[in-house]
Amino acid sequence: MFVKENLKEFKNKIPDHVTLVAVSKTKPIVDIQEAYDAGQRVFGENKIQEMVGKYEALPKDIQWHMIGHLQSNKVKYMAHFVDLIHGVDSLKTLKEINKQAQKHNRVIACLLQAKIATEETKFGLSFKKIEEIMQSDELADLKNIKIKGLMGMASFSSDNRIVSEEFKKLKLFYDKMNSLHAGFTVLSMGMSGDFELAIANGSNMIRVGSAIFGVRNYIA
| pLDDT tens sequence across 195-218 | 999 999 999 999 999 999 987 554
- The answer as to whether 220 is a domain residue is no
Give the residue-averaged pLDDT of 17-38: 96
- The answer as to whether 218 is a domain residue is no
Residue 1 pLDDT exceeds 80? no
What CATH number does residue 138 fall under?
Answer: 3.20.20.10
| pLDDT tens sequence across 110-128 | 999 999 998 776 789 999 9
C-beta of residue 186 within 8 angstroms of C-beta of residue 205? yes
- The answer as to whether 115 is a domain residue is yes
Residue 60 pLDDT exceeds 80? yes
Distance CA 150, CA 189 (A): 8
Q: Which domain does 80 fall in, by range?
A: 2-213
The closest alpha carbon to 1, from 36, 39, 34, belongs to: 34
Residue 204 has what pLDDT?
A: 98
- The answer as to whether 152 is a domain residue is yes
- The answer as to whether 144 is a domain residue is yes
Distance CA 170, CA 136 (A): 21
| pLDDT tens sequence across 155-176 | 988 999 999 999 999 999 999 9
- The answer as to whether 50 is a domain residue is yes
- The answer as to whether 132 is a domain residue is yes
C-beta of residue 53 within 8 angstroms of C-beta of residue 77? no
For 28-37, 51-60, 85-94, 210-219, which range has the lowest pLDDT when averaged over its residues? Answer: 210-219
- How confident is residue 136, by pLDDT bands cut at 50, 70 and 90? very high
C-beta of residue 88 within 8 angstroms of C-beta of residue 134? no
- CA angle, corner 162, sides to 158 and 166, nearest 5? 125
- The answer as to whether 151 is a domain residue is yes
Give the residue-averaged pLDDT of 30-54: 97
Query: How many structural domains does the chain have?
Result: 1
Q: In the chain, what percentage of residues exceed pLDDT 70?
A: 97
